[in-house]
Amino acid sequence: MEFIMSQNHPITPSARLAIIGLGYVGLPLARLFATKYSVVGFDINQQRISELNNGIDLTLEVEEALLKSVLVDKSSNEIGLYCSNQLADIADCNYYIVTVPTPVDKHNKPDLTPLYKASETVAKVLKKGDIVIYESTVYPGVTEEECVPVLEKLSGLKFNEDFFAGYSPERINPGDKEHTVEKILKVTAGSTPEIGKKVDDLYSSVVTAGTHLAPTIKVAEAAKVIENSQRDINIAFVNELAKIFNILEIDTQAVLEAAGTKWNFLPFKPGLVGGHCIGVDPYYLAQKALEAGYHPEIILAGRRMNDSMGEYVASQVVKLMIKKEIVLHEAQLLLLGVTFKENCPDVRNTKIVDIVHALKEYGIHITIYDPWAKPEEVQHEYGIETIQTLPDSTFDAVVLGVAHKEFAALDMASLTKDRNVIYDVKGFLSGNVDGRL
Collapsing DSSP to helix, strand or coil, 232 comes out as: helix
| Residue 277 appears among annotated catalytic residues | yes
∠ Cα 382 387 389 (to 5°):
160
Are 207 and 29 in contact by the 8 Å Cβ rule? The answer is no
What DSSP letter does each residue of 61-113 carry, written as one string?
A: SS-HHHHHTTB--TT--SSEEEEE--GGGGTT-SEEEE-----B-TTS-B--H
Catalytic residue among 93, 147, 277, 344: 277
Q: What is the CA radius of gyration of the chain?
A: 24
For residue 419, the surrounding DSSP H or E stretch is strand 416-424
Phi (first) and psi of residue 265, to 5 degrees: -75, 135
Rounded CA separation 360/329 (Å): 9
Collapsing DSSP to helix, strand or coil, 21 comes out as: coil
Rounded CA separation 437/435 (Å): 7
Q: Find the DSSP H helices in 156-293.
A: 193-204, 217-247, 252-259, 281-291
CA dihedral 142, 146, 152, 155 (to 10 degrees): -100
Q: Residues with catalytic annotation?
A: 277
